Chains A and B, each alone.
Chain A
Amino acid sequence: MNLAELQKKLTAAARLQTPDDRVPYAFEKRIMALIAERAAVSGRILWARGFWRAAVSCLALALVCGAVSLFTPTTADNSNDLSQDFENTLLASADLPDNALTP
Chain B
Amino acid sequence: MEERSEAELIAAVLQGDSASFEPLVVKYSPRVFATARRYARRESEIQDIAQEVWLKAFDKLKTFRGEAPFEHWLMRMAVRTCYDFLRGHQRNRISSFSDISEPEEDWLERFVAEPGNSAEDADAAKMLIDRVLERLSPEARLVIQLLEIEDRSVKEIAQLTGWSVPLVKVRAFRARGEMRKILARLAKEKYL
Contact = CB atoms under 8 A, between A and B. Distances in A.
Do A and B assemble together?
yes
Interface of A: 1-7, 9-17, 19-24, 27-28, 30-32, 34-36, 38-39
B35 to A, nearest CB: 8
15 contacts: A1-B191, A3-B184, A6-B183, A6-B187, A9-B120, A14-B126, A15-B151, A16-B121, A20-B33, A20-B37, A22-B33, A27-B47, A28-B22, A28-B26, A35-B58
Interface stretch (B4-12, B111-119, B156-164): B111-119
Contact of A38 (B50, B55, B118): B55
A19 B115 contact: no
B132 interface: yes
Nearest to A8: B120
Interface string B153-192: 0000000000000000000000010011001100100010
Contact of B55 (A15, A23, A35): A35
Could you say which interface size class chain B belongs to?
Answer: 35 or more
The dominant DSSP class at the B interface is helix
Interface of B: 18-19, 21-22, 25-26, 29-31, 33-35, 37-38, 47, 50-51, 54-55, 58, 111-112, 115, 118, 120-122, 125-126, 128-130, 132-133, 144, 148-149, 151, 176, 179-180, 183-184, 187, 191
Given A19-B38, A31-B51, A35-B55, A13 B22 contact: no
